[in-house]
Structure 1
Amino acid sequence: MSRPEFIAIIAAMMALNAMAIDVMLPALPYMGEALNVLNENDRHFVITAYMLGFGVAQLAIGPLSDRFGRKTPLIIGIIIYIIAAFAAVLAPDFATLLILRVIQGAGAAGTRVIAQSAVRDLYSGRAMAEVMSLTFMVFMAVPIIAPGIGQILLLTGPWETIFIFMGLLALVSGLWAFFRLPETLAPENRRPLTITAITQGFQIVFTNRVALCYAAAGTFVFGGLFGFITTAQQIYVDIYGLGVYFPVAFAAMAGLMAISSFLNSRFVSRLGMRRLSHFAMLVFTGMSGVLTLLAALDMLPFWLFFTVFAVIMFMFGWAASNMNSLSMEPLGAVAGTASSVFGFVQTVGGAVLGSIIGQMYNGTVVPTAAGYFVMGGLALIAILIAENGRLFGVGKDYESEGPIYGEAH
């Protein structure tokens, strides 16, 4: 398998998660009306339920993938994802739909764990960060088109059509991975599936200060992002009156994040993960504070909101992929377990934080902007703890250079 195809398959696996979230956004009002959801903020639980299932299941996927390899848990998870997506078409009420979304998220857990584990199996250091940036770039291309796809599907059929589309997309991606994705975990590197081995694996993860703190920083910034995702339709449509042009504005933001990830893949080999992520978080937090102040003073017309928010989201693209790489870099020996722990923490923690921010929506941009500012500040604190109070340092222990998975493969 060529390096570009490997990156493309990994990105496709991760994109299933973005699609399961972002393609739903235009349909939330229709789903709420069809299933008698009286409080419009409760529609956000369609997103939150998926994220909770996605996060919790990762705790099991990690040790399983360290024992049985990456490919088998991935394929089983995709099958569960497909079944839940098709079953959601027949959901008779909102509670049943939320249960199926939890199951769908649990099935998707394997895609996230295996994606990061496979990259860590084959790459290390800045080479790993470059591959993760390219993967993240493709992953971020999905929000560019997903709301538009959702809008088109709603024009051609009921909201249930979106779940049929997700199931078919997962079927195609799963077949691609089944026939083309190699097993990346060498037999000699597999860990036994025993209580002792699992406990030791979790102990290794939870006692690594640098990895744990960067995972926490990632949790906070993803919490801010989820807070925006759950309120995006209300901000763009209800506050700024974009109507059917909401997917265009959403896509523009996702496009900036994709461009940011691509530029990160070009710069990280020269500047390092720490310099880029630390600079990005400082700008992210500062501009979030500006956005909060402008929103509180009611001085935020759409053009100004869009400009300031574009800078924030561009910095998110730099910060997210590097912080994920920094959290995984010291834990190659337990990559599956580490990916599952950090995936659980970031997904569930981010979903809970994002849900809290979403529930605070009051018809203004203030809660969403303040959520970004608070989450950015907490992420900076976690980074300072990881780096013993110093920013922009180059970690000699972690930022190694070359790929394990060479170009010849």
Structure 2
Amino acid sequence: MTDINADAPVASPAHRPMTFAEFVAVIASIMALNPMAMDIMLPALPHLGAAFKIADANHLQTVLSVFLLGFGVAQFAIGPLSDRYGRRPVLLGGIAVYCVASVLALLAPSFEMLLLARLLQGLGTAATRVIAVSIVRDCYSGGRMAGVMSLTMMVFISVPVVAPSFGQALMLLTEWRGIFVVLMVYGLLALAWTALRLPETLPVSKRRSLAIRDVLFAYRQTVSHRQTIGYGIAAGTLQGALFAFVFTSQQVFTEIFHLGAYFPLAFASIAFGIAIAGFFNARVVHRFGMRALSHAALVGFVAVGALMLLAAATGFLPLWLFIALSMLMMFAFGLMFSNFTALAMEPQGHIAGTASSLYGTLTTLLGIAIGAFIGQHYDGTLLPFATGLFACTLAALAVVVLIEKGRLFRPHQAMG
């Protein structure tokens, strides 16, 4: 592992012959496979309903939730596999599965086959998310690693902003199957670029055993650490609120606010709040610390949830207020999720790959369960979402207060 001065754009020898700029670009491109496949589908949901004669709009949310289910479940195994066999074979295999799944979705004769293809897409993108982070960790450490992750995460965060608009443009030019043509081509390009240029970054001498006893021991260390499991539960609960927003966004903006084909613009303006949070966090986290920022954002999130619930319950939630509150929600989420993840992973450096997989599985599956529950209660009003959002914020705050023993905003210090 190479510790490089954060101010010097020097490429790590671990990823030669790639330059630093190409390395960042390829990591960002493979990480973007997941949010692209998720958010580009939003404008296509009504078209899928018409094509497969799905009358219940809430049922169409499964196109999104089953994708995330595959993504969450597969992460459980990706880390240990890549720690044992290396990054390249698992990553290339995951992207290949993603490409095959895109073809299956393109040719799907029924809604059930489409859901199966989406599940496989999610399984494939689990490798891109987990291993991309592992590769960065293999090549860099310290401030340089943080710099690389900030650059790649900016791309990762920007994709949900532009993907729905791109999907809407495709719907104006072609039918819903055109989306899977685009996803397939993007996957093939990412597969070729990775296969031809990205070297193996995990030396054989650093690979870990895949013996069941060793893997279970690493899992037990992860789930038994209060800081890791506590922040994982809090992050998963908050992610449930985010997933609920994504699952119902097309219905909310078209049925309640009557935006029609323009709803991707409103979605993009709201999602931009996460991008702002990422930039802000990178600039000030070293000054204030992860706990101070994330705890302050969590308290603010509770306040936003309370305002959203009050407005929805009283019937005064016009479009401008919903967008404003949703932007604040995304900004707070952006500050919390990255710092909660860092706090959860902080004690697990010796088993980072396995711990990252288990953490990803926990947060994703918990988020899906909560998000799907809230989404399925959509009734043509914003009250179910607002109620679920406020409940999620209160639950996350309670968990954080519990694991921090009531002492929020305290200086950075690893917990035992």
TM-score, length basis structure 1: 0.92
1:211 pairs, out of 223, 228, 237, with 228
Contact map agreement 1:129 1:322 (CA 8 A) in 2: no
- Match status 1:392 vs 2:409: yes
- Match status 1:190 vs 2:182: no
Query: How far apart, CA to CA, are the structure 1 residues paired with 2:147 and 2:305?
Result: 27
What code does the residue aligned with 2:104 have? A
Aligned to 2:286: 269
1:59 pairs, out of 68, 76, 81, with 76
Contact map agreement 1:133 1:321 (CA 8 A) in 2: no
What code does the residue aligned with 2:31 have? M
Contact map agreement 2:346 2:414 (CA 8 A) in 1: no
Aligned to 1:159: 176
Aligned to 1:354: 371
Query: How far apart, CA to CA, are the structure 2 residues paired with 1:4 and 1:272?
Result: 29
Query: How far apart, CA to CA, are the structure 2 residues paired with 1:276 and 1:123?
Result: 25
1:173 pairs, out of 179, 182, 190, with 190
Query: What is the aligned length?
Result: 398
Aligned to 1:38: 55
Query: How far apart, CA to CA, are the structure 1 residues paired with 2:286 and 2:53?
Result: 52
Query: How far apart, CA to CA, are the structure 1 residues paired with 2:123 and 2:222?
Result: 22
Unmatched 5+ stretches in structure 1: 399-409
Aligned to 1:382: 399
Say which is worse superposed, 40-49 or 375-384, in terms of deviation: 375-384
Aligned to 2:260: 243
1:343 pairs, out of 355, 360, 368, with 360
- Match status 1:220 vs 2:237: yes
Contact map agreement 2:271 2:327 (CA 8 A) in 1: no
Query: How far apart, CA to CA, are the structure 2 residues paired with 1:163 and 1:266?
Result: 37
- Match status 1:17 vs 2:51: no
1:95 pairs, out of 105, 108, 112, with 112
Cα distance change of structure 1 residues 164 and 96 upon mapping to structure 2, 3 Å threshold? same
What code does the residue aligned with 1:168 have? V
Query: How far apart, CA to CA, are the structure 2 residues paired with 1:268 and 1:122?
Result: 23
Contact map agreement 1:130 1:266 (CA 8 A) in 2: no
For residue 32 of structure 2, give the secondary structure of its aligned residue in structure 1.
Answer: helix
Query: How far apart, CA to CA, are the structure 2 residues paired with 1:384 and 1:184?
Result: 39
Cα distance change of structure 1 residues 248 and 179 upon mapping to structure 2, 3 Å threshold? same
Aligned to 1:290: 307
| Deviation, structure 1 residue 214 | 1.1
Cα distance change of structure 1 residues 121 and 35 upon mapping to structure 2, 3 Å threshold? same
- Match status 1:105 vs 2:122: yes
Q: Deviations over 1:60-106 (max 9, x none)?
A: 11110111122221110000000001111111111111111111111
Query: How far apart, CA to CA, are the structure 2 residues paired with 1:369 and 1:221?
Result: 13
2:385 pairs, out of 338, 355, 368, with 368
1:117 pairs, out of 124, 129, 134, with 134
Contact map agreement 2:290 2:412 (CA 8 A) in 1: no
Aligned to 1:401: none
Cα distance change of structure 1 residues 213 and 135 upon mapping to structure 2, 3 Å threshold? farther
| Deviation, structure 1 residue 374 | 1.3
Query: How far apart, CA to CA, are the structure 1 residues paired with 2:190 and 2:231?
Result: 30
What code does the residue aligned with 1:145 have? V
Query: How far apart, CA to CA, are the structure 1 residues paired with 2:31 and 2:237?
Result: 20
Identity %: 46
Unmatched 5+ stretches in structure 2: 1-17
Query: How far apart, CA to CA, are the structure 2 residues paired with 1:172 and 1:44?
Result: 28
- Match status 1:140 vs 2:157: yes
Q: Which has the higher contact order (CA 8 A, sep 6+)?
A: 1
Matches within 5 A, 1:267-346: 267-346=284-363
Aligned to 1:402: none
RMSD of equivalent CA atoms: 1.8
Cα distance change of structure 1 residues 391 and 183 upon mapping to structure 2, 3 Å threshold? farther
What code does the residue aligned with 2:233 have? A
